[in-house]
């Protein structure tokens, strides 16, 4: 295994359903032989995310550029089971 291998990938899929934005972001990060996979689902103002470590076989397959269709399957299941949290917008305080 290559010790100084670095890899970052992020894909975002956006759809509008009845005027409401639904966004799914899948990201993979590998550094020095260890990595994580993350799925973030945003539906309107709610955000759910799930992060799992990559196994050694997944890291090797990514390094050799093999296609893995079920790489994010566990993360998607975890996002569906989690409770959503509201995302609040930060605004500047007005000074009078």
Phi (first) and psi of residue 15, to 5 degrees = -140, 150
In angstroms, the CA 38 to CA 84 distance is 16
- Tell me the average pLDDT across 50-76: 91
Annotated domain spans of the chain: 6-81
Tell me the C-alpha distance between 54 and 38, whole Å: 10
Query: What is the tens place of the pLDDT at every residue in 75-94?
Result: 888 887 766 666 666 677 76
Is residue 36 predicted with pLDDT exceeding 80? yes
pLDDT above 90: percentage of residues in the chain: 47
Which residues lie across from 39 on neighbouring strands?
A: 26, 50
Work out the average pLDDT over 27-35: 92
């Amino acid at each position: 295994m290559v010790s100084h291998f670095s890899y970052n990938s992020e894909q975002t899929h956006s759809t509008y359903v009845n005027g409401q934005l639904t966004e799914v972001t899948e990201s993979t990060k590998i550094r020095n032989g260890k990595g994580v996979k993350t799925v973030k689902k945003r539906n309107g103002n709610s955000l759910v995310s799930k992060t799992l470590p990559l196994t050694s076989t997944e890291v090797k397959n990514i390094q050799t550029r093999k296609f893995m269709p079920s790489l994010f399957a566990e993360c998607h299941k975890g996002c569906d089971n989690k409770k959503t949290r509201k995302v609040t917008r930060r605004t500047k305080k007005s000074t009078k």
